[in-house]
Amino acid sequence: MIRGVVAVVFGALQVLVAAPVAPSAPAPSNPGDVFEFPLPTWTPHCLGFGSKWTYCNGTALRACASGEVWLHTGADVIATVGQPVAAAGDGVIVGYLIDQTFRGGVLIRHQTSSGAVITQYWHVWLKSGYGTGSRVKRGEVFADVADMGTLTHLHFAVFNADYEPHAWNGALPPSACSGFPAFPYKFIDATAFIEAHLPVAPLPRGTRI
């Protein structure tokens, strides 16, 4: 066992010495498999993937009759009013909703080599000239962060499937209730997804704390 550990360590050192500036992953051959963060900095706001769906002060937004608080399906990221929001990848806008409480929501459908993926952006306004059916390229600014006062932030989620009405959900119950499927359903950790699909070079933009 000890010999095995030594061999692994030695192997890692060999890699470091042989290729100190080598990229960490091979370049994806399909541009549809490359994604980036929608904002240049990626600093978490109050809620992350799987957090209880509450305001920053802990007030629950929605709960099942059983009292279970819904769970947040996206990543909330610190943003400023009017800040440009970029498409996470090449795709097509497949929906735009306006909600009195949550402002605008946008869904973009991406065709990756492992199937369709939907990226979801809440608390934004579409820029003029964009609407359902618009094609966007990765990094293209298509929306601005909406003014939600002290609650202003970007909610970003990744729905790992093709479009269906639940792709709009910002949170889901911990176990099925009120006709909604249980968290996480087809949502996956948005920050981890982007990190796993960043372009190889230049180095990943943004920061994560």
CB of 45 vs Zn ion, minimal distance in Å: 8
Residue span 68-87 as binding mask against Zn ion, x where in contact by CB under 5 A, dash where not:
--------x-----------
Task: Specify the residue, 76 or 189, whose C-beta has the smaller distance to Zn ion.
Answer: 76
Count the Cβ atoms, other than its own, within 10 Å of residue 180. Answer: 17
Q: Least CB distance from residue 105 to Zn ion, whole Å?
A: 11
CB distance 46 to 57 below 8 Å: no
Peptide bond into 202 cis (omega under 30): yes
Are the C-beta atoms of residues 33 and 112 closer than 8 Å to each other? yes
User: Quick check: helix, strand or coil at residue 35?
Assistant: coil
User: CA 125, CA 103: separation in Å to the nearest integer?
Assistant: 7
By CB under 5 A, which span of 28-36, 88-96, 134-142, 147-155 interacts with Zn ion?
Answer: 147-155
Choose between 33 and 76: whose C-beta lies nearer to Zn ion: 76
Which residue's Cβ lies closest to Zn ion? 155
> Considering the complex, what minimum distance in angstroms separates the CB of residue 76 from Zn ion?
4
Residues 132 and 179: beta-carbon distance below 8 Å = no
134 vs 152 by CB, closer to Zn ion: 152
Query: Do the Cβ atoms of 68 and 177 come closer than 8 Å?
Result: yes
Do 131 and 96 contact (CB within 8 A), yes or no?
yes
For residue 126, give the 3-state DSSP assignment.
strand
Residue 76 or 144 having the CB closest to Zn ion: 76
- Residue 138 binds Zn ion (CB under 5 A): no
Residues 4-63, interacting with Zn ion (CB under 5 A): none
**Considering only residues 110, 138, 155, 197, which one is a binding residue for Zn ion as defined by CB under 5 A?**
155
* Partners of residue 117 on adjacent β-strands: 110
Min dist. Cβ of residue 79 to Zn ion (A): 11
Catalog residues that contact Zn ion under the rule CB under 5 A. 76, 155
